[in-house]
Structure 1
């Protein structure tokens, strides 16, 4: 597989985890998730569909040491 195909495959596997799913996956409340973001324990969302619908790339969470899968 050439370098271009490798990058495309990585991007397609870098799914988005939406806020509502993230706090459920972590087993915390939405307020805890907000507090962790304020305290810098959690990266800020890097995807914003609307003001209320935000998410994180899986790679962003993994880089921050949060392994969900």
Structure 2
């Protein structure tokens, strides 16, 4: 079996998009993000350190149909 490292491919990284960055990328404010979560237009965060510090895996957002980066 051939590993990704042996053929020079970079392993995929499923990075976390935090609320502030999500606001910047979508062009909306934090309150809109809160409303989208409540209306189920945005999946619940994968990481929730506090109510203000929350983030989503890039794969979660893509699976929900939100095209970023």
TM-score bin, normalised by smaller chain: 0.7 to 0.9
Displacement after TM superposition at 1:2 (Å): 4.1
Q: 1:21 aligns to what?
A: 21
Distance 2:21 2:36 in 1: 16
Displacement after TM superposition at 1:20 (Å): 0.8
Displacement after TM superposition at 1:17 (Å): 0.3
Give the CA RMSD over aligned residues. 1.5
Q: What is the TM-score when the length of structure 2 is the normalising length?
A: 0.78
5+ long unaligned stretches in structure 2: 5-10
Q: Deviations over 1:16-69 (max 9, x none)?
A: 000111011100011111101100000010112x21311000000000001111
Larger radius of gyration: 2
Q: As a proportion of its length, which structure holds more helix?
A: 1
Secondary structure, counterpart of 2:56 in structure 1: strand
Superposition misfits of 4+ residues, deviation over 3 angstroms: none
Distance 2:53 2:38 in 1: 18
Q: How many residues align?
A: 61
